[in-house]
Structure 1
């Protein structure tokens, strides 16, 4: 899924690498960082769900096999540029890869119930936009709020899971790979099945705010 525009937040991913270089890798000098390990495990699970080998994912993301191997074991940290390449290759996003997986927001008294306040929820880049996940941990589906202002369509995203989009503010132009540009305003929605190429962008300078629900990939 592609959302254009938005600002990037500072994270512990501090390596910056030009697009024409490989191996943006930093081995951790101390004990394995738990966030790095969580990101690595999520990448490995998604890679296996997509039926990709490390070599295949490296080719899709234009990164090296040794780097990805270290990353999946929590022994390396990628730059945000590298993380975006990996996310695109996996049909995911940076904010989804970086989100905690422990479900820490769930109620202790009612484990199956979770409330996420307006100020909470993992936040981070979603393509070139800003995303906020509305659940914590691994759930059967991923609802989120995305905000974008860029008019650049960017590249298509494709993944195996179904997806739903509902416009809350502004106007988004949606392209589902068939050459038709659909202008969706406040209250409009679109649902598309897995395997559909998709991208969207802002119709004007006011940008947009959309509610998106994605199926959780079938991981093993």
Structure 2
């Protein structure tokens, strides 16, 4: 007699995004209520998001990203189907591939997929004025591939970086950058990766 293997439910993109949001929130030490207030979203809506029962608008996703010290494109990447942790095959991203979306004052393209310990991305911008300082718990490295930027570190001052220059920011360091003359610049940015919890972790106490 043939025994059929049990059918395993595959988490939907909404469930994967919700689990990723929950993992980031917990990594930041925030409750549902605190994150909802920081992102100006309702507590019930955020709870539904984390359980994969609702889908955020791009505006809501942007507010969540800022409240969590990350970017919309990185949150969207969290909804991609994951590769198995034991999959040792190299992961390739071609020049015309990779998730692309808003990041800080420009656009970023993710340069890796599947299980990984850090997030490499290609950032393109031309903003002549700085936006808000970003502060997050992950260490971050960047190097200038094209053009030049003025990068500010809050109380640590600012510095001009040109092609080939690089900087390593420790966690908790405020930072922002802009083009000194409004011309296009490209950066390679590598951040530590905060993993969201698994899909079966998506249900929790309402204010955990």
TM bucket, shorter chain: 0.7 to 0.9
After superposition, what is the alpha-carbon deviation per residue over 1:145-199, rounded to whole angstroms, capped at 9, x for unaligned? 0001112311111111110010000111111112622111111101010010111
Say whether 1:190 aligns with 2:170: no
Say whether 1:167 aligns with 2:144: yes
- Give yes or no for contact 2:143–2:165 (8 Å, CA) kept in 1: yes
- Give yes or no for contact 2:127–2:179 (8 Å, CA) kept in 1: yes
- Give yes or no for contact 1:169–1:208 (8 Å, CA) kept in 2: yes
Q: Please state whether the residue corresponding to 1:144 is helix, strand or coil.
A: strand
Give the structure 1 partner of residue 153 of structure 2.
Answer: 176
Structure number with greater Rg is 2
Q: Please state whether the residue corresponding to 1:178 is helix, strand or coil.
A: helix
Give the structure 2 partner of residue 46 of structure 1.
Answer: 24
Give the structure 2 partner of residue 25 of structure 1.
Answer: none
- Give the 3 Å change call, closer, same or farther, for CA 59–51 of structure 1 in structure 2: same
Task: Report the Cα distance in structure 2 between the residues aligned to 1:128 and 1:174, rounded to whole angstroms.
Answer: 13
Structure 2: 5+ residue stretches without partners: 1-10, 198-208
Structure 1: 5+ residue stretches without partners: 1-32
Say whether 1:76 aligns with 2:54: yes
Give the structure 1 partner of residue 64 of structure 2.
Answer: 86
Task: Report the Cα distance in structure 1 between the residues aligned to 2:129 and 2:44, rounded to whole angstroms.
Answer: 33
- Give yes or no for contact 2:107–2:123 (8 Å, CA) kept in 1: yes
CA RMSD of aligned residues (A): 2.3
Return the TM-score normalized by structure 2. Answer: 0.82
4+ aligned runs moved over 6 Å, structure 1 = none
